[in-house]
Amino acid sequence: MQETIRIVVAEDHPILREGLKMLLSTNPSLKVVGEAQHGLEAVQSVKSLQPDLILMDLSMPVLDGVGAIKKIKKINPSIKILVLTVHKTEEHIVNALASGADGYVLKDATRSELMLAIQDVFAGRGYISPAIPQKVVEGYPEGKSLQSYTPLEGLTAREREVLKMIAKGHKNKEIADSLAISIKTVEKHRANLMKKLDLHSASSITVFAMEKGLTRESDSAEESP
């Protein structure tokens, strides 16, 4: 007889939470024993409900998914955590796995993929959505450690220079003259860094750079174009 998997659904949107509960109820080997509206409730459910697996959203109030994963794994490392989220960025994926998540599935997954992910994670095999580039999670789940990732690590030295100059109010021509590169090259670096950082305006670049302390760094070139 197949073992029943006791699940807590951690999702802050009531409609999505109800939908997931109904979906999981169609599988007789799965039993939803509780739900959580935010990360702190998910943590509290570990002691009160003792689930086998937590289906964890990442963007939640009070305590986000990554914070909840860290706390839950400290309380009971044997509880399996399967992230179910819309986030596809390398930062979200690597940080979730580095925090102790046992699997990562996107919310546009099919019912069959979600069921497979739950079974694999519960069995200790881990699961990563096929939609996620392999290079992001290379070595998972074979036991290689994953280090916490920051978006800046994805930038080249030149993109970082352009980022700092944009944040300081320099226009494309000024950046091109300063770095001895063409305006077209500046525009390419600008487009690349905005895509990598998921930033969409000069003002958002400025805020990001200030938060990371980049505007206090030296403006000296770090590499040739």
In sequence order, which residues have a C-beta less than 8 Å from that of residue 114 and are 6 or more positions away?
A: 23, 84, 105
Residue 24 confidence (pLDDT): 96
Residues 132 and 158 in one domain: no
Q: What is the mean pLDDT of residues 156-182?
A: 91
Taking the C-alpha atoms of residue 110 and residue 23, their distance in angstroms, rounded to an integer, is 11
Which of 118, 217, 119 shows the shortest CA–CA distance to 163?
Answer: 217
Residues 126 and 204 in one domain: no
Report the predicted TM-score, pTM, of the whole model to 2 decimal places.
0.64
Per-residue pLDDT at 180 exceeds 90: yes
Flag the least confident range among 7-16, 135-144, 215-224.
Answer: 215-224
Q: What is the mean pLDDT of residues 19-28?
A: 95
Taking the C-alpha atoms of residue 135 and residue 188, their distance in angstroms, rounded to an integer, is 24
Residues 180 and 101 in one domain: no
| CATH code of the domain containing 15 | 3.40.50.2300
3-class secondary structure, 44: helix
Residues 164 and 106 in one domain: no
Residue 145 confidence class, pLDDT cut points 50, 70, 90: very low
CA quadruple 112, 117, 119, 123: dihedral, nearest 10: 160
Q: Look at strands 80-85 and 30-36 and give their pairing.
A: unpaired
Residues 131 and 159 in one domain: no
Domain that holds residue 177: 151-216
Residue 150 confidence (pLDDT): 56
**Is residue 146 domain-resident?**
no
Residue 135 confidence (pLDDT): 61
Per-residue pLDDT at 215 exceeds 90: no
Q: What is the mean pLDDT of residues 26-54?
A: 95
Residue 181 confidence (pLDDT): 94
Single residue among 137, 170, 192 that ends a domain in this structure: 137
Q: What is the mean pLDDT of residues 156-181?
A: 91
Interval 63-93: pLDDT, tens: 999 999 999 999 999 999 999 999 888 788 8
**Does residue 192 contact residue 125 with C-beta atoms inside 8 Å?**
no
Strand order in the sheet with 80-85: 30-36, 5-10, 53-56, 80-85, 103-106, 127-128
Single residue among 137, 163, 196 that ends a domain in this structure: 137
Question: What integer best gives the mean pLDDT of the chain?
Answer: 85
Residues 73 and 182 in one domain: no
Q: Burial, 10: exposed, middle or buried (Cβ in 10 Å; 0-12, 13-18, 19+)?
A: buried
Per-residue pLDDT at 146 exceeds 60: no
Residues 50 and 100 in one domain: yes
Residues 125 and 31 in one domain: yes
Per-residue pLDDT at 148 exceeds 50: no
| CATH code of the domain containing 206 | 1.10.10.10
Residues 161 and 133 in one domain: no
Residue 204 confidence class, pLDDT cut points 50, 70, 90: confident
**Is residue 185 domain-resident?**
yes
Taking the C-alpha atoms of residue 211 and residue 222, their distance in angstroms, rounded to an integer, is 21
Residues 130 and 158 in one domain: no
Residue 130 confidence class, pLDDT cut points 50, 70, 90: confident
Residue 44 confidence (pLDDT): 95
Per-residue pLDDT at 39 exceeds 80: yes
Flag the least confident range among 37-41, 55-59, 195-199.
Answer: 195-199
Residue 13 confidence (pLDDT): 95
Token pair of 211, please? Answer: 């938060």
Taking the C-alpha atoms of residue 173 and residue 82, their distance in angstroms, rounded to an integer, is 48
Residues 115 and 11 in one domain: yes
